[in-house]
Amino acid sequence: MPNKITYSQEELIALIKKRDQKAFTYLYDNYSKALFGVINTIVSNVEESEDALQKTFLKIWNNFSTYDENKGRLYTWMLNIARNMAIDTTRSKHGKAKSKIQSASDNVYKYENSVKEENKNLENIGLKGIVNNLQEDQRTIIDLAYYEGYTHEEISKKLEMPLGTVKTKVRQAILKLRELTKREILN
């Protein structure tokens, strides 16, 4: 089994700016699930969300020269593209779904502001109470993966934890968050 290639964020950015397709494949493999989650929250249809995800990555590839690493993290830039693509998909398919789009836009806007201010307080996107119910290690991994934009490999290195364990803990945390969110909605 060959060793899997990993890139630092700086290496990844430099290679994609040079139009390196292996680096772009790496980008897709490591960020597509997180971006799909954002898109599917807005679109609420798996097939349409998958289509919007593909369009998102096409737009990322075609417009990568506009990314400025001095203005923010790569993940935040891609998150904006994914959110906008999801909103466009929803508008073109279903007309104006204002309440759902506005809610998603507000959450992303609040998230972006917290990143810019280097304030990682989950209160800014309304999930603090729910996320605080996770176990400490799950909470740490969710913070790194979804709020700081780390890949599973980067989390594995940062926390000195096997990659499989990181993936398992992410999956367990997401399942727990779903359960807690459903409970919160029903109450």
Q: Which fold has domain 123-187?
A: Arc Repressor Mutant, subunit A (1.10.10)
**Selected residue with higher pLDDT from 104 and 170:** 170
CATH code 1.10.1740.10 region(s) in the chain: 7-119
CATH code 1.10.10.10 region(s) in the chain: 123-187
Q: What is the mean pLDDT of the chain?
A: 77
Q: Which fold has domain 7-119?
A: Rna Polymerase Sigma Factor; Chain: A (1.10.1740)
Degrees, nearest 5: CA angle 168-156-165: 25
**Selected residue with higher pLDDT from 64 and 142:** 64
pLDDT for 59 equals 93
Which are the contacts of 167, defined by CB distance < 8 A and separation ≥ 6?
A: 152
Q: The whole model's pTM is what?
A: 0.49
CA distance readout (Å), 157 to 34, 162, 187: 19, 8, 39
- Whole-angstrom Cα Rg for the chain: 17
Q: Is the pLDDT of residue 11 over 60?
A: yes
pLDDT for 184 equals 64
pLDDT band at 156 (very low <50, low <70, confident <90, very high): confident
pLDDT tens string 44-75: 888 998 999 999 999 999 998 888 888 888 88
